[in-house]
């Protein structure tokens, strides 16, 4: 349903995106994962129609989508963008904010729609509160509900949970992404949160400095980590020198290393144990190489150990 190909995109003469291409079917969710400044927001702005794409193509249902040079009002009517600057009206209530995108021809139907969305974003108890009295995270949830009011076909989310505390975030993500699947709404989320990307997306696009690094299902992207940059999104990094487990240097995550009762080539000295609730993250060192692995119990500082690689 959405087909995008960006050969190159630049601000003035500074190229910020290059060689990005993907297709999404109706109802699919793509997570765009990358560090700040890698071009995630620019990608969403191109898709929404706020920027002109001169070197590439963009289609929705075989219809070309064009930027502001071709549209009096930038943006596409069938999609919504929730940016990091909340599009909310501070001096009216939460319910009134959500209702601003409804046509008001059937007030009973509109009321039911607003109530439905208040549940999705967990703001029922704040329905009649003026938005100016809400926290940043609550305002972000109002912006999400407003974007959903007219049931867009495509929803673009730019760091949608950045201001929401962890307790609320977990519940909201489950509610929101379940709702989008239920309503068959295509979604693209720009995020630096790998946990969110892995758990709630059908496809992942990992970006670095405007270039695609990896693309595929979450299982494919996670299962084919080969560089410190890729690994850095999913936990501490172990850069294992060539000749220890393989003829080539390896990049491993903490769950891929474990203490061995047998002698191995990877000897290490324990530096510190960090309690993580269900386990300890152990920081150790092999010569000049920093190592991190998970262990069920705390280890004694300066203890000498052997480490082995666990199968994926």
Tens-place pLDDT, residues 108-167: 899 999 999 999 999 999 999 999 999 988 999 999 999 999 999 999 999 998 888 888
Could you tell me if 54 and 178 lie in one domain?
yes
d(CA 214, CA 208): 10
Q: Is the pLDDT of residue 204 over 80?
A: yes
User: What are the backbone dihedrals phi and psi of residue 111, each rounded to the nearest 5 degrees, phi first?
Assistant: -60, -45
* The predicted structure's pLDDT at residue 116: 95
Could you tell me if 267 and 128 lie in one domain?
no
Could you tell me if 63 and 177 lie in one domain?
yes
Nearest to 189 by CA among 42, 44, 59, 47: 44
Q: Is the pLDDT of residue 75 over 90?
A: no
d(CA 260, CA 280): 17
* Residue pLDDT, tens place only, 227-243: 999 999 999 999 999 99
- Give me the sign of the Cα torsion angle 140, 146, 149, 150: negative
Could you tell me if 182 and 252 lie in one domain?
no
d(CA 270, CA 42): 44
Q: What is the CATH number of the domain that holds 24?
A: 3.40.50.300
**Structural domain of residue 68, as residue ranges?**
2-225
d(CA 254, CA 55): 41
Could you tell me if 146 and 241 lie in one domain?
no
Residues in the chain: 312
Could you tell me if 49 and 181 lie in one domain?
yes
Backbone dihedral region for residue 19 (phi beyond 0: left; psi -120 to 50: alpha; all else: beta): left
d(CA 169, CA 162): 9
d(CA 74, CA 48): 8
What pTM, to 2 d.p., does this model score?
0.92
230 in a domain, yes or no?
Answer: no
Show the tokens assigned to 87. 């599009």
* The predicted structure's pLDDT at residue 140: 92
* Residue pLDDT, tens place only, 165-191: 888 899 999 999 999 999 999 999 999
Could you tell me if 10 and 87 lie in one domain?
yes
* The predicted structure's pLDDT at residue 165: 85
d(CA 226, CA 152): 37
Q: Is the pLDDT of residue 86 over 80?
A: no
Could you tell me if 140 and 246 lie in one domain?
no
* The predicted structure's pLDDT at residue 178: 96
* The predicted structure's pLDDT at residue 87: 82
């Amino acid at each position: 349903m959405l087909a995008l190909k960006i050969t190159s995109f630049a601000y003035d003469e500074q190229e910020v995106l290059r060689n990005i291409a993907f297709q999404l079917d109706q109802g699919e969710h793509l997570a765009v994962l990358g560090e700040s400044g890698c071009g995630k927001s620019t990608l969403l702005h191109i898709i929404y129609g706020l920027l002109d794409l001169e070197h590439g193509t963009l289609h929705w249902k075989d219809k070309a989508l064009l930027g502001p040079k071709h549209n009096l009002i930038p943006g596409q009517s069938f999609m919504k963008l929730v940016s990091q600057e909340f599009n909310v009206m501070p001096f009216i209530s939460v319910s009134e904010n959500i209702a601003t995108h409804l046509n008001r021809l059937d007030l009973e139907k509109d009321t039911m729609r607003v109530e439905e969305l208040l549940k999705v974003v967990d703001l029922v108890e704040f329905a009649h509160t003026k938005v100016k009295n809400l926290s940043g995270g609550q305002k972000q949830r109002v912006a999400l509900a407003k974007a959903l009011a007219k049931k867009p076909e495509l929803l673009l989310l730019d760091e949608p949970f950045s201001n929401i505390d962890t307790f609320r975030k977990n519940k909201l993500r489950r509610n929101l992404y379940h709702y989008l699947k239920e309503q068959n709404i295509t979604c693209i989320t720009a995020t630096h949160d790998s946990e969110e990307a892995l758990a709630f997306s059908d496809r992942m696009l990992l970006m670095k400095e405007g270039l695609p690094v990896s693309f595929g299902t979450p299982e494919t992207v996670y299962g084919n980590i080969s560089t410190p940059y890729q690994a850095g999104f999913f936990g501490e990094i172990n850069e294992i020198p060539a000749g220890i487990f393989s003829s080539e240097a390896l990049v491993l995550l903490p769950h891929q290393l474990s203490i061995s009762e047998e002698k191995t080539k990877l000897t290490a000295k324990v530096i510190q144990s960090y309690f993580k609730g269900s386990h300890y993250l152990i920081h150790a060192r092999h010569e000049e190489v920093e190592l991190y692995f998970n262990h069920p119990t705390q280890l004694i500082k300066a203890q000498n150990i052997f480490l082995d690689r666990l199968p994926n």
